[in-house]
Amino acid sequence: MNPELISKINALAKKEKDQGLTSEEKILQKEYRDSYLEEFRKSFRKRLENIEITYCEEEQ
C-alpha cells in the first residue's frame, strides 16, 4: 500500500473530525478512499489467486 496515500486519507479524516471539510476536500477524500480501496482489492485478489489448496489423505 502507498503510505503517502494512507497519510493523506488520515489527515483528511482528522480534519473532518476536528473542523469539517470543504466540498473540495470531501471530493478529494472520496478520490483518495476510492483509490485506496481499488489498490486494496487488487492486492487481495492477487493474494487469493496465489493460494494453493492441497489435500492430505487420512492415515488409516
Please report, for residues 16, 22, 40, 44, 58, the alpha-carbon distance to residue 8 in angstroms, rounded to integers and kept in the order given. 12, 15, 16, 22, 52
9 in a domain, yes or no? yes
- Give the C-alpha separation, 28 to 7, whole Å: 13
- CATH number at 25 reads 1.10.287.540
In a domain? residue 57: no
In a domain, 55, yes or no: no
Percent of the chain exceeding pLDDT 70 equals: 97
pLDDT tops 80 at residue 59: no
Q: Distance between CA atoms of 4 and 1, rounded to whole angstroms? A: 9
User: What mean pLDDT comes out for the span 11-17?
Assistant: 96
| Structural domain span for residue 22 | 3-49
Rounded to an integer, the average pLDDT of 42-51 is 95
* pLDDT band for position 60 (cuts 50, 70, 90): low
Q: Say if 14 falls within a structural domain.
A: yes
Number of domains present in the structure of the chain: 1
Q: Is the pLDDT of residue 16 over 80?
A: yes
Domain assignment present for residue 30? The answer is: yes
Q: In 3-state terms, what secondary structure has residue 32? A: helix
Global pTM value:
0.77
